[in-house]
Amino acid sequence: MAKEKLSEDRLNKAQKIRELGYDPYGQRFDGVIPLAQAKALFDPDNPEKHPPARIAGRIIFLRDIGSLIFIRLRDSSGELQIGLSKKHLGQQWKLAKLFDLGDIIGADGQIGITKTGEITLWATEITILAKAINPPPEKWHGLTDTELRYRQRYVDLFSNPEVQKTFKLRSELIAQIRTMLTEQGFLEVETPMMQAIAGGAAARPFITHHNALDIDLYLRISPELYLKRLLVGGFEKVFEINRNFRNEGISTQHNPEFTMMELYQAYADYNDMMDLTEQLISQLVRKINPEMKLPFGELTIDYTQPWQRKTYAELLKEHAGVDINDIDAVRAKARQLDIEEATMDDTVVINEVFEATVEDKLINPTFVIDYPAPLCPLTKPKPDNPDLALRFELFIAGMELANAYTELNDPKIQKRNFEIQLAGQEETMAVMDHDFINALRYGMPPAGGLGIGIDRLIMLMTNSTSIRDVILFPLQKPKEQLTE
RNA sequence: GGGGGUGUAGCUCAGUCGGUAGAGCAACGGCCUUUUAAGCCGUAGGUCCUGGGUUCGAGUCCCAGCGCCCUCACCA
């Protein structure tokens, strides 16, 4: 049936509801209890007891068998059936006959059971709270078209309960992270999302414009340089959970805006960050499955502690079969992998080979430690070997999940690293952040810093293989506006 | 940006060799006091993603474009 006709029928019903003296878009409906809670009021040992309840929810099933109507309601807690009978509803029977799938209604009644054994609220009074003009998706399959699911997430959420479940878990896990960090003495802070200089990472930023000041600003690619300013300021333990924006490709692991948790701890180093990371994520996993194993697509990830800690060079040897110090061998391997190595610096070639051969092999949680220093301009070099940086990345299911270092706090080296970076990468951080250097000149305590990609973490915790399934409204290219 | 897939009724999907566009759910009408993805009987519902082309004839074949998904590239 044509879409317009379906809506027209529902609009007509809304009008009939008005004629009966009801507002199809109702008012405050006080004292509602969640459907799961209402359902639990039924006592199987005492089926003759009929506790009263007031409930509300969206109609997901409706069967009209003459002078009896069965309706299944859904809310965020679950589902419950309502039984409506002509005999008991009296005047309101006419209203009941105007209900459609998708409408949001409220009901008062007693919890009982049907002859077939389903717990049911036998309604004595009903009300319409919102008339749905658009018909909902099919009740059995739900909404499966991925494009529609993302563009109209509101429909996806109410028609596919498992989607709600994923986002509830996301919220709970982030709350747990906040609690754990706060309990350990970390202070949650908020630093600028709009920055005059986009620093702290190498990524292309989004540019926006402030009219009154007539200046371009960047959406931040990282909060790092501001959080470190707070270490200078004397906060010893800070963290921020917020959005970063990167103007780059979109994939199952990349959304242009994504949520990052960054924390900094004075007087600590990257070893402390490793312990903290392992502890944080393990606690989340334990709550989901005490066996410490979680499925992820075709994989099963084993989070049993302790997690592997392997050096960058060790892994390169293991998976690429080359010695990091034998640059000829590395370059030969690169050519074998079709990497255009000729114009690249040694370290870049090494990293290309590393990314091509190692990363997707790291399925169970693995800390990769001691990165080549040139890849890490914000990291303190190893005291006994300045070619290596005190940095780790955590890989799970082949995904880069966390990145951490012993923070560089020598302003002179920091400035030099920025200069090298600026010379090599015009495209990224185009301006020296003199104020950050100035902050370091006042003295920043030695510190460990950690970043965890929250969306990717949620992917692992909820067995979602696309980042779009853990972001409520992932970026979609605009289409022509929907009209009535 | 490259490669692969996909787009048909509100939703989920069929559609053979190029020959009148189909089903289920939802809707509408009728019967029914216990339905559990679909009660029974009946009715109605289409920009086959868009624009060209080939053909007597295109949902189907060809070309171009668009959206989405996967993948590669890019990505501290």
Summarize pLDDT for A282-310 with one digit per residue, the tens: 999 999 999 999 999 989 999 999 999 99
The pLDDT of residue A389 is above 50 = yes
Q: What percent of chain A has pLDDT over 90?
A: 79
The pLDDT of residue A314 is above 60 = yes
Higher pLDDT, A449 or A45: A449
The pLDDT of residue A401 is above 90 = yes
Strand B closer than 7 A to residue A85 Cβ: yes
Average pLDDT, chain A: 92
Strand B closer than 7 A to residue A120 Cβ: yes
CA distance A121 to A115: 13
| Average pLDDT of span A466-476 | 95
> Phi first, then psi: what are they for A339, rounded to 5°?
-90, 130
DSSP string across A95-116: HHTT--TT-EEEEEEEEEE-TT
pTM: 0.93
pLDDT band at A482 (very low <50, low <70, confident <90, very high): low
pLDDT at A430: 66
Q: Compute CA A316 distance to the chain's CA centroid, rounded to the nearest angstrom.
A: 31
Distance in Å, residue A11 CA to nucleotide B30 C1': 23
The pLDDT of residue A95 is above 50 = yes
Which residue places its CA closest to the C1' of nucleotide B30? A66
pLDDT at A1: 61
Beta pairing partners, A52: A110
Nucleotide nearest to A355 (CA to C1'): B75
CA distance A1 to A254: 39
Name the residues in A341-360 having a C-beta closer than 7 Å to nucleic acid strand B: 355-356
pLDDT band at A375 (very low <50, low <70, confident <90, very high): confident
The pLDDT of residue A484 is above 50 = no
Coil, helix or strand at residue A190: coil
**A344 CB-contact burial (10 Å; exposed 0-12 / middle 13-18 / buried 19+):** middle
Coil, helix or strand at residue A248: coil
| Average pLDDT of span A110-118 | 91
**Which of A183-187, A337-341, A470-474 is predicted least confidently?**
A337-341
Nucleotide nearest to A122 (CA to C1'): B34
CA distance A321 to A161: 47
* A149-176 confidence digits (pLDDT tens): 999 999 999 999 999 999 999 999 999 9
Question: Which residues fall within 8 angstroms of residue A479, CB to CB, at 6 or more apart?
Answer: A151
pLDDT at A342: 78
CA dihedral A48, A51, A56, A57 (to 10 degrees): -40
